[in-house]
Amino acid sequence: MPTIGVLALQGAFNAHAQALRQLNADVREIRLPQDLDGVDGVVLPGGESTTMSQLLLSSGVFDVLTQRIADGLPALGTCAGLILLAKQVLDARPDQVSCSVLNVTVRRNGYGRQIDSFEADIAITGLETPFTAVFIRAPIIEEVGNGVEILAMHDGAPVAVASQNVLAASFHPELTSDVRFHELFLHMISSGSTARGAR
């Protein structure tokens, strides 16, 4: 099974690690640039995107991570992780950075504050039955550019997308007992496609 690096600077990285281990993946926590050596994929978890942005810079991980993903390293980003992958981020702080490897425009906290959190059953390409998506201070994908496939919609807006080696979601798949979204990521690594075969 692949070795998956989970960015462990801030946010819900433990929940991602547990989901991946359920699928028999080898998990490595990423805190320093050298931790990325030899991983087959990387997860950017939910959390506070501005804090994660600052920690990526101060740890020295940002440049190495960005280059690895640009060179083809498979990446999964959820909630704040989606923000860190997006090419354009609306309502971002001036000092906030993004890897700019996913051709989408997102708006931070587009679904509202913590009190506005909700769950919704959504249909996701590649999954046979609906997935219960957990939205917590989630970003809204406002625009999808060329080369990006929409995998799921909610209330008229994309909430899961894929582009070449990147899979991303507005919601938190790691906060449910359903590991099928993580399975899609592992399938992407093994086959080069995020949307083949129902799960």
Is-catalytic flag, 99?
no
The answer to whether the Cα torsion of 143, 99, 173, 147 is positive or negative is positive
Is-catalytic flag, 79?
yes
Task: Return d(Cα 61, Cα 23) in angstroms, integer.
Answer: 26
* Single-letter amino acid code for the residue at 9: L
CA distances from 166 to 4, 73, 94, 103, 122 (A): 14, 8, 25, 10, 20
Q: Of 16, 99, 154, 172, which one is the catalytic site residue?
A: 172
102-107 and 86-90 beta bridge pairing = parallel
Residues 4 and 41 sit within 8 Å (Cβ to Cβ): yes
Is-catalytic flag, 142?
no
Q: Of 99, 154, 174, 183, which one is the catalytic site residue?
A: 174
Catalytic annotation, residues: 79, 172, 174
